[in-house]
């Protein structure tokens, strides 16, 4: 029995399913989840002392790689100063200023502790601001485990086959209208019928919770247009894409400006952080300025702010995202070459420093129904094969993968060679 197997057995005695977040349980790929004890640069080390090239990066935050010295130094210094005060600190303002500089659509920003809190707060704020109840989301997009947003959701909900979670009152879910991602016509039709009742559209500008699906040209622009026509708040959930697809997020990459933005992952440098912000006029409705209530015991915690700010400063170095995008493209193209050379039909796609691959005979995947029609068995075999080769990919066909600045050309070459060996066995 491996150490991971032993630890998983013990964990299941005390933790539901042995994990604190469902996708970690490997139900989408079978087998036992790996337990890790150490991480450094682009690598994870499991409890059995095996090394893996990491393409998950703690599900996104580790854009600099693991154990980055700048983040560690910032954290050590802050630990000696104080772990938390539940009162204002200078670093919170520094962080807020940095976020407003990097994401120009954000005039005011509030820190929270997770991406879920960030999206939840944007929806409440949009409802409070417009006085409307209905919201539009897109099938296969995941915005955290918020009641109103766990309707036809992606990520673990999709991996485990529960995109509509029990426990959410029908009377709440009925206010969530779910449309097809990348389907401009259905958005226009819905808004023509009931646009004036819709508080917000919330969208992952690159869908990363049903693998990796960039927006088709015109999709985000159409969302902006209908929101402007109907006084609806456009929310970009940039928890995954923020600071990753480009320094200013997907909104910079695609040149479409939302009213509100939800942030997470990279913004915390590996600590539990989220944030939401946007137009001053809307943000002024948040308490204590306005009546829409939102609060948090640990919000703006100095350790979390330190790690996040150190990360944002490091990724603001000129050329950072160009270099990271080049690496991502090399991984993406390496997977495609491996598939082509072994005759395995594979579609690959990416946006900035996130990428995805689909076992499907199609040049491009743009829709949710195409994603669910992909060869799930092949994905599982490929995932397990790559794991044996020491490459740690997301354990679900419905998750995007991520690169980090610590990834070397040699890591990418090893990944491509491993993929070629594994593809031959599929």
Which residues of this protein are in contact with ligand PLP, per CB under 6 A? 59, 114-116, 119, 142-144, 155, 204, 208-209, 237, 239-240, 264, 274
- DSSP category for residue 374: S
Q: How many CB atoms lie within 10 A of CB 81?
A: 12
With vertex at residue 267, the alpha carbon angle to CA 365 and CA 128, rounded to the nearest 5 degrees, is: 85
Q: Burial, 90: exposed, middle or buried (Cβ in 10 Å; 0-12, 13-18, 19+)? A: exposed
Rounded to an integer, what distance in angstroms lies between the CA atom of residue 292 and that of residue 282? 10
Catalytic, 237? Answer yes
b/e map 359-378, b = 16+ CB within 10 Å: bbeeeebbbbebbeebbeeb
- Which of 142, 152, 183, 254 is labelled catalytic? 142
Give the nearer residue to ligand PLP in terms of CB position, either 105 or 416.
105
In the complex, residue closest to ligand PLP by CB: 115
- Which of 183, 237, 259, 411 is labelled catalytic? 237
Shortest CB 267 distance to ligand PLP, Å: 10
Give the nearer residue to ligand PLP in terms of CB position, either 243 or 346.
243
- Which of 134, 137, 152, 265 is labelled catalytic? 265
Shortest CB 79 distance to ligand PLP, Å: 23
Give the nearer residue to ligand PLP in terms of CB position, either 116 or 328.
116
Catalytic, 14? Answer no
Give the nearer residue to ligand PLP in terms of CB position, either 41 or 61.
61
Shortest CB 208 distance to ligand PLP, Å: 6
Shortest CB 156 distance to ligand PLP, Å: 9
Shortest CB 337 distance to ligand PLP, Å: 28
Cα Rg of the chain, angstroms? 21
- 3-state secondary structure string, 35-85? CEEEEEECEEEECCCCEEEECCCCCCCCCCCECCHHHHHHHHHHHHHCCCC
Catalytic, 293? Answer no
Question: Token pair 């100095």 is at which residue?
Answer: 302
**Looking at the annotation, which residues are catalytic?**
142, 237, 265
């Amino acid at each position: 029995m491996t150490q991971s197997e032993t630890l998983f057995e013990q964990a299941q005695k005390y933790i539901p399913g042995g994990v604190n977040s469902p996708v970690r349980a490997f139900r989408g790929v079978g087998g036992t989840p790996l337990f890790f004890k150490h991480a450094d640069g682009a690598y994870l080390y499991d409890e059995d002392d095996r090394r893996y090239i990491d393409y998950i990066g703690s599900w996104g935050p580790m854009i600099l790689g693991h154990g980055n010295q700048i983040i560690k130094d910032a954290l050590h210094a802050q630990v000696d100063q104080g772990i938390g005060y539940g009162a204002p600190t200078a670093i919170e303002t520094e962080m807020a200023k940095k976020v407003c500089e990097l994401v120009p659509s954000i005039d005011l920003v509030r820190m929270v502790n997770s991406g879920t809190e960030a999206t939840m707060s944007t929806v409440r704020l949009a409802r409070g601001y417009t006085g409307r109840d209905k919201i539009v989301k897109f099938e296969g997009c995941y915005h955290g485990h918020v009641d109103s947003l766990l309707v036809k959701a992606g990520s673990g909900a999709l991996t485990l086959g529960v995109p509509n979670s029990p426990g959410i009152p029908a009377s709440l879910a009925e206010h969530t209208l779910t449309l097809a991602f990348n389907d401009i016509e259905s958005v226009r039709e819905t808004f023509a019928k009931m646009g004036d009742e819709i508080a917000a559209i919330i969208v992952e500008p690159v869908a990363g919770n049903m693998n990796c699906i960039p927006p088709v040209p015109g999709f985000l622009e159409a969302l902006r247009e209908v929101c402007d026509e109907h006084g609806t708040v456009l929310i970009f959930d940039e928890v995954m894409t923020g600071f990753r697809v480009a320094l200013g997020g997907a909104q910079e990459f695609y040149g479409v400006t939302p009213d509100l933005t939800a942030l997470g992952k990279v913004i915390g440098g590996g600590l539990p952080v989220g944030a939401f912000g946007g137009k001053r006029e809307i943000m002024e409705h948040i308490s204590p300025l306005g009546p829409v209530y939102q609060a948090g015991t640990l919000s703006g915690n100095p350790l979390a702010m330190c790690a996040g700010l150190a990360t944002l400063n490091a990724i603001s170095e000129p050329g950072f995202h160009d270099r990271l995008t080049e690496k991502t493209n090399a991984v993406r193209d390496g997977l495609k070459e491996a598939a082509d050379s072994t005759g395995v039909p594979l579609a690959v796609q990416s946006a900035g420093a996130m990428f995805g691959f689909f076992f499907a005979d199609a040049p491009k995947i743009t829709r949710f129904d195409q994603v669910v029609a992909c060869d799930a068995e092949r994905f599982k075999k490929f995932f397990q094969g790559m794991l044996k080769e020491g490459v740690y990919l997301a354990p679900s066909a419905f998750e995007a993968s991520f690169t980090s600045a610590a990834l070397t050309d040699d890591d990418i070459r090893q990944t491509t060679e491993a993929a070629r060996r594994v593809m031959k066995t599929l």
